[in-house]
Structures are given as C-alpha cells and as structure tokens.
Structure 1
Amino acid sequence: MRFATDTGGTFTDLVVEDDDGSITLHKASTVPSDPVSGVLDALTVAATARGLTLRDLLARADSFIHGTTHAINAIITGNAARTGLIVTQGHRDILLFREGGRTEPFNHTVAYPKAYVARALTFEAPERLLADGTVQTPLDEAAVVEILARMREQKVEAVAVALLWSTLHPAHELRIGELIERHLPGVPYSLSHKVNATLREFRRASSAAIDASLKPLMTRYLGSLSDRLAAEGFGGKVMVLTSAGGMVEAAEVAAAPIRIINSGPSMAPVAGRHYANREGGWRTAIVADTGGTTYDISLVSDGRVPMTRDLWIGEPYRGHLAGYPSVDVKSVGAGGGSIASLDAAGLLHVGPQSAGSTPGPACYGRGGTLPTVTDACMVLGYLDPDYFLGGAMTLDADASRTAIAENVADKLGMSVEDAAWSILDLATENMVQAIQELTVNQGIDPSDAVLIGGGGAAGLNSVFIARRLGCKRLLIPETGAAMSAAGAMISDITGEFAATVHTTTAAFDNDRVAAAIDRLRRDAEQFAQRTGTPGEIEFIAEARYEGQAWDIDVPLTSTNFATQQDIQAFRHAFDAMHEQIFTIRDPGSAVELIGLRARIRCPARADGAFLLKEDPEAATAMRKRPVYFAGEGWVDTQILRWDAVPTDTDFAGPALIESPFTTVVVDPAARFRRSAAGALLIEA
C-alpha cells in the first residue's frame, strides 16, 4: 500500500493505492498553522472509509509520498530563516543588481525589488580565483572567522556562500564550509557550487541563499512529518515531491530544500501527460489545475513535460529567482477561494486574494463573509450543499447569497444570480487569459490542443474555459479532483546533477567534456544505488551561439564527442532546437557549450497505470434541479453521479456530474461521454 498527498491552500488531497493497484481519493481541510495535521486528518478519513484505525492503515503501507507548498509559503510570507551571505570581495550587491530585466520597463512607479538577503547580512570574503584556477587573492581565513563571529552576533540562522568561479574551482567555498562547521557549529549552510552549478553568478548566489534559508524550517517540518507518521504506526519510506517532477527521500530534501519549492504543482503535468496518452494520444495538452488559491497551467507537448530554469518565487523580475530546474508551471491568483470585490470605481475584481481554508468561502460556515468563486457556484446551483465532499461537509447556501448580495449585487444594482455569474465569468476570463499567454508565447494554437482540467474546482467552469479558447476537447480525469496527488503516485524517483563546462564547436575540448560526463554519470549512478532502484540517465547540454546572452537546453542522444562527426551531430541538434524555439538558426556561428546536466529517473512502481476504485452503490436514478446559465436563466438540469454514468455513451447537456470530490458543469451546448477508464470527455 502507498500514499500520496498534496497539501494545497484549501484542501489536502490524498490518494491511497492498495496492493491490487486500485486507488481511492480522500480530502481534508488544510491546517495552515500545522500542515502535518491536515495530512493526518486526510489519512484518518481514508482509514475510517476502510473501517480501520489510523494506526492499522499506516502499518500496512510501505511508502508515503508528500507534496507541499510549505517551502515556497515560508519565502512568500517572510518566515524563512535569518540568512547571511558570504561573497567574493567586491561583489556584495550581487543579489541587489540581479541580471537586469523588468516586467514593465518604463513603469518607474514600481519599487525596485529587495534583495533576498539584506545588504547588512551580506559579507565580503577577501579571496579571488580566476576562471583558469589561478589564485589571484588567497583566501583570508582570519577575515572569514571574523565574519562568522559577526554573523553569530547578528543571530544568523543559516549561511550561504557564493564565490566567483566556484563551479569550476570550489576550493575556497569548501574551505569556508569547513570554517562554518568549526566556528558556527549546528548552523546549516549552502555552498553555491553544490546547490546550483551554473555559470551565472546571480543565479548561483540566489539559489544558495534560498536553499540555506529553507534548511532550518524544512528540517523541522520534514522531521515532524516523519516523526508523527512513525508515532502513528508508519514504518515505510517518506518521499517528497520535487520541483523537477519526481520525488526523493525526505532526508535528501532536508539537505537541499530548494528542490521542493514547486513541489505539489509540478505533479499536475506528470498526471496530465499520463491521461492525454491514455485517452487519445493527443500531441499537445493544456494541463490546468484549479485549486482553492491558484490556477496552475502547463503545456505537455509530444509527451514531454516542460522544464525551466527560470523559476521565480513571486512575479518575474519582482520576486526571487530560484534558478533551479523545475517543471514549467504558470500560476495565477484564481481558484475556488478567490475573493470577489469592487474597487473605488465600482469595477469587479476576482482574486488574487483568497479565502483559503480558514475562514474559507462564506458557504463553509467558518466565519468567512466575503464572496468567493465557490460562493458564486453555490448561488448558481452548481454545488449540492448536502453532497460536498460526499456529504462530509454541509455548505450554507444562504451565507453565499448574503455575501454576494451585500458585497457585489446590491452595490451594482443587479440580481444575486447575475452578480454570481459575473464573478464566475470574470474568474473564467482570468484563467483564459493565462492560458492564451502561455500557448501563444510558444506558438501553439489552443484549438489544436486538449484541455485537461484537474483540481477540485476544475469542473465548475472548465467547459466555459474550453469554449472561449476554441478547444473542442475537454478531459476531466477520474482522479482530476486530486490530480497532483495522482501524478505523485505515478512519478519516478529522480535526481539531477550539473557541471559547468565551457568549450566551443570551433575548438572542442573533448577531454574536459568527457571528464564532466563521467563525473555526472557517477553521481547519477550513486543516487540510483541509494534508492535501491536502477534508473535511466538523460544528459542535457546547456548551449548557445557564440556571443548570445542566454542558452537553451539540448537533450543529448549521444555523450560521445570523440570525432568531428560527433561534434557536428551535437551542432545539428542545437540548430534544430534553436529553430524550434526561436524559428531561426545561425549556421555561421560556432556553438558554445557552457554546462551539462544529468537527470536520472528510477521507476517507483512497475506500471504507470492505475484504476480508480468505483462506488458500487452510486445512485443511478436520474434527478434534476434548477441550475443557472447565462443567457438561459434557470434550467432544469439532470444530476448524475460520476460512477453511475454509463461508459462509451454520448450524453447532451445540460448536466451536473457529481462525485464526492468535484462537480463537473456541462452547459446546454456541450456533449459528454465517460471513457472506459472512467474519465469524462466533453465536447464544448
């Protein structure tokens, strides 16, 4: 038996896989002040559903997979550790200067972003190594010891070290690490060449600072998670989801917590790829995960989950650059808990503020009084107040009407139903705009793709989103209500290793490249040995045309560069990738190789497929209730239970398809069917 959890802003999702390969879904409210409690609550719900105690359930499992936003939330809320940064003398402002770039280059009303580590906690070490390894300025160890003493006085809780050329020549960083261990015993530290072996100074420094700042927090959090699970009877492995779309053991994450900044959201594309292949083999899938706080979108094309090294915490150029490889997921502040409000001019806004799980939407009855998207759906008749979470939670429909009436409808002089539709319509438009920006930027026509809707709130407006995008095909997987947790269940154990190598096709240094590849292969193989599972290694080159400012990733089909033909094959692969991304190639310029990465994937389960266990007692009798649709008004709509919908049979809207964890709204213009595997396929 295995568990996979995803802790969201409103609910904690749990997927339980039994020994026969069948899975079940469960949800519990997230506890922001203690996320582990939300996890244990979800496990208790699963145990109760099986007629077991929590201890009996946990005793049967051998693996617990956890996705969490705890790390990124700590950074956003300013709850990361008080961190000091040591840099090469003369480079104290590297985190302030950044790499340039502004979202709005001519909007000077936007304040310049603050450095991740304050200047007062940034210290200059007298040292300087050159790119060829020459020691221009020896490391002044006495000065470093004095810096560490000042850090102790300022109550620094973690230390980051980012020196020039450390990815090529790490001796000075390693020595400072030894001095930290001696003079600041017990204080965690991060060395930039180990955290992010990239040539770019700012990215290395930013990655190291973020990684160090998370170490005390995540060590406590993961330790608490492991200890509390063990106290309840769990004796298996605790695995944590990474930003790169895989998982690693909790102990490895605590040593490098920057790996899990985008932990939960990275799994939705993994699940989306699985469902796109299973249901239709679509070349391009738009994967959208609707949570309580955010709407996360990504593109899966030709079976590849998109990756990026430009992972920003907050807005691009205004937030903090993690600079660590991550699944490329774009998030907007639009979800089931997004709050609707009017500005001073009387214009309606939805999000990015969210009611979260506490107090939550007004209909939750937990003290929330502000209208949300969920409240709008309650007013429109989309949600059954007596069947939310399968009846485990009763919603207050009157509270939703009151919240929308007092905060929106009365102020705009419209009916509560029209105000509720306006809230949902605006939230839908925000989501559509985010998808269009993502697809158009990559030269993809949304009408050629399938839209895959995941998250508990996805079914409420995915039909409307698909129609506005021109997507004729909408897929709501049977596990869509917990899509990130489902993706975790089919993900691999992954590790990623990097090396800085600079050479050019005009004078290729094969010995240096071969040595780097051998080193990366050894690191990957040692990782596989630690997991106890053999894996497949993929090598990626970071390359650019000579003189370019930025590089692109080129998957290597061969790691052999012994002959001129091998180098030309690499050159052709780079040209093809550059043309695919930028529509041009430059055969007259040499290609610079500036880095190499090795990514290893070790399968965690024998088969990527799984089957959701259905409810044999799902109601088959057709019911109807009035549901509000714009332009139609109140329409008598058929209510179907998901597990009772016959497979491979076409149905016409309007309809509401309900499960204990989600409701899918099919308007009068749409048609739908349920696939043999249990997913809903909708033609919008």
Structure 2
Amino acid sequence: MRMSVDIGGTFTDLVVEDGTGLSLYKAPTVPSDPVQGILDVLGTAATARDVPLAELLGKVGAFVHATTRGLNAVLTGNAARTAFLTTAGHPDVLLLREGGRQDAFDFTVPFPEPYVPRALTFEVTERITSTGEVLTALDLDALERTCDQLVAADVEAIAVCLLWSTVNPEHELAVGEVLDRRLPGVPHTLSHALNPSLREYRRASSAAIDASLKPLMSDYFSALTERLRDAGLRGRILMVTSAGGVIDAADAVARPILTINSGPSMAPVAGRAYALADTGSDDVIVADAGGTTYDVTLVRRGEIPSTRSAWVGDVGTGHMTGLPSIDVKSVGSGGGSIAWVDEGGLLHVGPQSAGSVPGPACYGRGGRSATVTDAALVLGYLDADGFSSGAMTLDAEAAVVAVKTSVADVLGIDVIEAADAILQLTTEQMVRAIEEITVGQGIDPAKAVLIGGGGAAGLNAHAVAERLGCRTLVVPAVGAALAAAGALMSDLTAIYSATAPTITSSFAIERVDAALAELVEQGREFARKAGVAPEEATIALFAEARYPQQIWELEVPLRVTAFAGPDDVADLAEDFHRTHLEILGITDPASPVEIVSWGARVTVRLEEANHQVGALPRGSAEITRRRAFVPGRGITDVPVVPLAAMEPGRPVRGPLLVEAPFTTVVVAGDAQCRIGESGSLVIETETDRPEKED
C-alpha cells in the first residue's frame, strides 16, 4: 500500500493506492498545525476503511508528501533570521537583482527589499578569478571577527555565496568549516554545493532562501516523521520536489528549497498520464483548481516544461529560487476565492481567499464573504447534504446571504444573477491564465486536451474548455486530488549542474568531459544512496547554451556522455540551432554556440511506484435530478449523474451535473460525456469556439 498527501490552502488531500485501486480522502487543512491536518485525513481514511489508524499505517510501504510550508514561510517573511556572507566589495548582489516591475510605467510599485537585509550582510575578504585562481587569499582572522558579529546578531541560519566558487569552491568550503566550528547548530548553505549557477544573483538567492528555510523545515520534517511514526507508519517517507520528482525526507531536510513549489508540481505529472490514457494525446493543458489558486501547465509532446526562473511571490519583484522547477502559472481563482465589488462598481474574484479558516460562508465556520463555492451552491451545482462525498453539510442559506450582501445588493441584481456573474468572472480569469501560456507562446489551445483537476475544477472546467475551443476535456476520477495522485506516479529524481563555459568554435573538450564525468558520478552516487545499483539510474545529460551575446540560455539534450571529437561538437551545435528555431522561431546556423553550463537529470525508478494511471473502484448509484442554473434557461431540473453510475460505451449528453468523488462537474452546454479508459470523465464538445465581440 502507498499513500500520498498534498496540503492545500483549504483541504488536505490523501490518495491511497492498494490492490483494489485508488481511494480519495479529504480533511480541512489546519494552518496552525499542518501535520494535524495530515493526521486528520489519515484518520478519515482509517474510519472509512473501518480499521484502526495504526493498522492502516502499518501496511504503508511509501508515504509521499507535498507541502507549501516553505513557500508560505518565504511569502509571509516567517523564515529564519538569516545572514548572508559574500565576497568583499559585492554586498549588493541580493539588492542589484534580476527582475523588475511587470508594468514598466507603474511607479507605485516600490523597489523590492533584498531577501537578506544589508544589516545582516557580511563581506568576506577573498577573491577567486573566473579561471579558478586565487587572486586574494581568504582572510581567516577577519572571518573569525565576522563570526563574532554573527553570534552577536543572534542569526539562525547563514548563506554563503562567494564569487566564482562554482569554478573553485576552496574558499566557500573553508568558510563552511569555520562556521561549523564557531556556530555549531546554526545551519548554513554553500552556494556552489546547492546551485552551481553562473548567474550570481540566482546562486545567491537560492542559497539565502535555502538557508532561511533549514530551521523551520527541519523542525517540520522532524515533527512530521515523529508523529507519523508514533501513529504507526513504518514505511519510507518521501517528499515531492519542485522539479516534479520525489526525494527522501532526509534529503529534503538538507536542501529544503527543493520542496518550495512541491504542491503544484505533481498535477502536470498526473494530468499528462490521464490525457494519454483517455485520449492518446500528448499535447495537454493541465489545470488544477484548488481552494485558493488555479494552477495551469502546458505539456507539449509529452514534455512537462521546466524553468530556472521560478519566483516566490510576484514575478520580477519577488525572490527567485534559481533552481529547476515545473513551470506552473498560478492565479488566485479557486473555490475559496472571495468575490467583492470595488468602489467603482466592478466585480472582482480573488486573489483573497477564505482558505480553510473560516472558509466559505456555506461552511458554517464564521465566514461572511461570498466565495466561488458559495456561488456554486446558490446556483444548485453542489449538494448541500453530500458535499465532499458526504463529509460536510453546507449551509445554503448562509451562501445566499453572503452572495446577496457582498455582490447582489451592491450591484442591484438578484442573487442568481450575482452567483452566475461570480462563476463567469472566475471562468474568464482561468481562461486568461491558460491563454497566457498558450496563445502568448503562439500555441492554439483548441488543439490541446484540457485536464480539469482539483476539488473546484468541475464548477467551470467545461465552461473554460468551451471558451478556449478545446474539443476534449478530461476530468480524472482522482481529479479532486490530482497533485496527490501525481505523487504516486513519480520517481526519485535529482538535477545536478556544473559550470564549464566554452564555445563550439574553440571547444574545451577535456574540461567539458571532466565536468560531464563528474555529473555522471554524482548521478551514480544518488542511485547508491537510494539503495539501487548505479547502472539502474537513468542519467540524462544536457547543456545550457546560447548564441554569443544572448542573455538567456536554452536547454539542449546531449547525445553523448563524453565528446570524442569535432563530430560530437557539431552534433551539439546542430541540436541547439534546431531547438532555437523551434522555441524562438529563428536560427543562425553560421554562428558558433556558447555553452554556459552543463547538467544531469537523474531518475531512479521506485520499485513500488505505479507509472500507470490508477482507477477508482466502480460502484452503482442512482441518477437523480436537482434544481440548478442553466445558462439561457435559468433555474431548471437538471439530471445528476454519479460518475460511478456511468456505463462504459454509453455516453450521456448535457446539460447535466456529474458527481465525482469530492467534486461536481457542471456540463451546462450541449456536450457528450463518457467514461474513459481510466475511469475518468471525458467531455467532448461539438460546438465551435465562440467568436469574441468587438
């Protein structure tokens, strides 16, 4: 048996995989104690299976966990009090950053503060050149005095980023040894070991963020492990990474920044698998609608996009992680997003969220603001007595009052119109997010399959598909916990980097081959630590390359593990030209190619992992009817079809409501619904994409 848990802003999701298939469970997230939320949902599963919790956990071979604990700490400024040590003369590396205002002419946006304030930034007397030579020796006496200042400042973590430590880490290693001796128990991060990037700001930022999270995440992982062990878990504990894989909990403690975007990273993994299983398509738009955010990713030709430009907070003014991460676009449109009207009479939805405490008004926990969930209940889309698979009873009257007070009375319209307006605006925000990653990159979303995941996805996934012109929408049976399901499909992964700049016109074969050999060895060592033979690891080497004078690099897979001669170099150049043409639309075959860094993506398959999609157990249920809103018809009787009651090979047509575990799929238009190969709901829209009015 395996389990995966994803802690969201509103609910904590649990997916259990055993010999009978998959089972889904949800419990409200406990913001003040996330581990308690995990124990609560585990208790829900044990109760549903009619076994003691200790007995259930005793059968678990692997427990996979995704968390936003680190992300929230950075966003809220609740990470550790961190000092930053850098080469003398360069104290402003975190201030003179990358990024900028999204609107260049919006001067109301202040210049962002550095992640570590100047008061906790200390200069280290030393200097290494770009060739690795020691220009200025490390002043150990001055470093001892700096340590006195660090003790006096009562710092809780330390980040070290010295110039050109990626070429020669001698000084950074020496600084680390001194810190271990002078400040025992205070964790530190050395930039060359965490992120050997050529870009100074990214390397410094990643080191600072990682160090600042070590005390918090160490305590969190320790508490998680201890409480799960006390509850009866004996299996392996794995953590989801931002790059779309999993690592052992001990590795997550050593490098907590790897988990900072772990929550959204798994949905694309599951979405890709379900799209392939149910439609055969490998061009997929994966949308995960939770209680707080709507996360979207574009998968092209089966490749999940990755980026090193992941930001914590607002793009350009937040803080860059500088490490590979699944490229996910997030907007504040979820089930708990609050609807409000501004002073000018304009309706907004989000980005504020009611979260799990107090939650939407219909939860009956003290919430008064109208949310997307309240609007859906007013429109009849949700079953007040059977919400969240019967785990909660919703207060329909409270939802009506919230929508009426917050929106309807302010706009001078009736409650149904107001609720419909909230859902329509939410749909438009979701459409804009998808258009940004598709149309914005010259890609027609109508040619892709849309995956609707997350507990709130069903409310307007079909409406989003219609607006985009997507012919096929797939709502996985496990869609309400899509990210958690994706965690069960993942392998142990690691990404390593090496700085060995060169250019194809004068290629440094010996230096490059040495760097590649070191990357391969790091991959093999990763496999050994994972408990498998090194030859069982999959090591994919790549180059980060550009044309001379370009600012940004493109990732190009390598055909070889070592360059034997000019032919191999020519192959690399050819691959780069083709990649540049494909991504940017132009190429310059006559130009040499500059390689900035090299990397290795290592994958170790878990023996217990199931790389195929899982299906929920089938069952029987009755088709009922409910009064619900249908555009153009108003409130009318609508068939309510349980997903478990749909028979393979017998499609049904909308408008209707399909009740899947923990979500309701609203099919308001004329569409055909059927059961896919994986047991998912496949909705095929026959109408053309509507034309936008001038």
TM-score, normalization by structure 2: 0.97
Pairs within 5 Å for 1:243-254: 243-254=242-253
Per-residue CA deviations over 1:150-203 (Å, capped at 9, x if unaligned) read 121111100000010000111110000001001111000000001111101010
- Paired residue for 1:564? 566
Q: Distance in 1 between matches of 2:555 and 2:488?
A: 28
Q: Give the letter aligned to residue 679 of structure 2.
A: G
- Paired residue for 1:629? 630
1:290–1:455 CA contact under 8 A, matched in 2: yes
- Paired residue for 2:692? none
- Paired residue for 2:330? 331
Q: Distance in 2 between matches of 1:21 and 1:379?
A: 37
Q: Distance in 1 between matches of 2:562 and 2:145?
A: 48
Q: Distance in 1 between matches of 2:167 and 2:207?
A: 16
Q: Distance in 2 between matches of 1:466 and 1:443?
A: 18
- Secondary structure of the residue aligned to 1:27 is strand
Per-residue CA deviations over 1:71-102 (Å, capped at 9, x if unaligned) read 10110111100100001111111111103543
Deviates more, 1:269-278 or 1:356-365: 269-278
Pairs within 5 Å for 1:82-481: 82-481=81-480
Q: Distance in 2 between matches of 1:109 and 1:317?
A: 15
Q: CA deviation at 1:610?
A: 4.4
Are 1:611 and 2:614 counterparts? yes
Q: CA deviation at 1:546?
A: 1.3
Q: Distance in 2 between matches of 1:31 and 1:421?
A: 31
- Paired residue for 1:17? 17
- Secondary structure of the residue aligned to 2:340 is strand
Q: Distance in 2 between matches of 1:504 and 1:479?
A: 48
Per-residue CA deviations over 1:212-258 (Å, capped at 9, x if unaligned) read 00000000001100000001111111100000100000000100011
Q: CA deviation at 1:49?
A: 1.2
- Secondary structure of the residue aligned to 1:349 is strand
Q: Give the letter aligned to residue 574 of structure 1.
A: F
Equivalent of residue 587 in structure 2, options 562, 585, 603: 585
- Secondary structure of the residue aligned to 1:264 is helix
Deviates more, 1:555-564 or 1:262-271: 555-564
Per-residue CA deviations over 1:419-442 (Å, capped at 9, x if unaligned) read 000111111111100100111232
Are 1:535 and 2:534 counterparts? no
Equivalent of residue 599 in structure 1, options 598, 601, 604: 601
Q: Give the letter aligned to residue 681 of structure 2.
A: L
Q: CA deviation at 1:486?
A: 0.4
1:388–1:660 CA contact under 8 A, matched in 2: no
Q: CA deviation at 1:400?
A: 0.3
Q: Distance in 1 between matches of 2:443 and 2:324?
A: 23
1:272–1:300 CA contact under 8 A, matched in 2: no
Q: CA deviation at 1:315?
A: 1.2
Moved over 3 A (4+): none
Q: Distance in 2 between matches of 1:560 and 1:166?
A: 24
Q: Give the letter aligned to residue 414 of structure 1.
A: I
1:496–1:600 CA contact under 8 A, matched in 2: yes
- Secondary structure of the residue aligned to 2:94 is helix
Q: Give the letter aligned to residue 630 of structure 1.
A: P
Q: Distance in 1 between matches of 2:621 and 2:553?
A: 56
Q: CA deviation at 1:283?
A: 3.2
Q: CA deviation at 1:443?
A: 1.9
Gaps of 5+ in 1: none
Gaps of 5+ in 2: 686-694
- Secondary structure of the residue aligned to 2:450 is strand
Q: Distance in 2 between matches of 1:129 and 1:142?
A: 18
Per-residue CA deviations over 1:632-655 (Å, capped at 9, x if unaligned) read 201210011111111122211111
Q: Distance in 1 between matches of 2:74 and 2:6?
A: 19
Are 1:4 and 2:4 counterparts? yes
Q: Distance in 1 between matches of 2:176 and 2:280?
A: 50
Q: CA deviation at 1:480?
A: 0.6
Q: CA deviation at 1:476?
A: 0.4
- Secondary structure of the residue aligned to 1:501 is coil
Distance 1:470 1:23, change over 3 A: same
Q: Distance in 2 between matches of 1:69 and 1:491?
A: 18
1:21–1:611 CA contact under 8 A, matched in 2: no
Q: CA deviation at 1:611?
A: 3.3
Q: CA deviation at 1:273?
A: 1.1
Q: Distance in 2 between matches of 1:521 and 1:408?
A: 59
Q: Give the letter aligned to residue 10 of structure 1.
A: T
Q: Distance in 2 between matches of 1:52 and 1:200?
A: 53
Per-residue CA deviations over 1:256-312 (Å, capped at 9, x if unaligned) read 011011101100000011111111221310000000000000011111111100010
- Secondary structure of the residue aligned to 2:389 is helix
- Paired residue for 1:662? 663
- Secondary structure of the residue aligned to 1:95 is coil
Q: Distance in 1 between matches of 2:42 and 2:101?
A: 45
Q: Distance in 1 between matches of 2:304 and 2:669?
A: 34
2:12–2:38 CA contact under 8 A, matched in 1: yes
Q: Distance in 2 between matches of 1:425 and 1:332?
A: 15
Q: CA deviation at 1:607?
A: 4.1
Q: CA deviation at 1:606?
A: 5.6
Q: Distance in 2 between matches of 1:140 and 1:567?
A: 42
Q: Distance in 1 between matches of 2:614 and 2:574?
A: 43
Q: Give the letter aligned to residue 591 of structure 1.
A: V
Q: CA deviation at 1:23?
A: 1.4
Q: Distance in 2 between matches of 1:380 and 1:577?
A: 48
2:82–2:159 CA contact under 8 A, matched in 1: yes
1:162–1:173 CA contact under 8 A, matched in 2: yes
| RMSD over equivalenced CA pairs, Å | 1.1
2:100–2:317 CA contact under 8 A, matched in 1: no
TM-score, normalization by structure 1: 0.98
Q: CA deviation at 1:671?
A: 2.0
Q: Distance in 2 between matches of 1:161 and 1:584?
A: 40
Q: Distance in 2 between matches of 1:133 and 1:329?
A: 37
Per-residue CA deviations over 1:467-498 (Å, capped at 9, x if unaligned) read 11111111101111100000000111111111
Deviates more, 1:521-530 or 1:674-683: 674-683
Q: Give the letter aligned to residue 613 of structure 1.
A: L
1:466–1:472 CA contact under 8 A, matched in 2: yes
- Secondary structure of the residue aligned to 1:576 is helix
Q: Distance in 2 between matches of 1:2 and 1:134?
A: 51
- Secondary structure of the residue aligned to 1:12 is strand
Q: Give the letter aligned to residue 240 of structure 1.
A: M
Q: Distance in 2 between matches of 1:123 and 1:187?
A: 16
Q: Give the letter aligned to residue 4 of structure 2.
A: A
2:628–2:638 CA contact under 8 A, matched in 1: yes
Q: Distance in 2 between matches of 1:302 and 1:532?
A: 32
1:333–1:351 CA contact under 8 A, matched in 2: yes
Q: Give the letter aligned to residue 518 of structure 2.
A: R
Q: Give the letter aligned to residue 676 of structure 1.
A: E
- Secondary structure of the residue aligned to 2:380 is coil
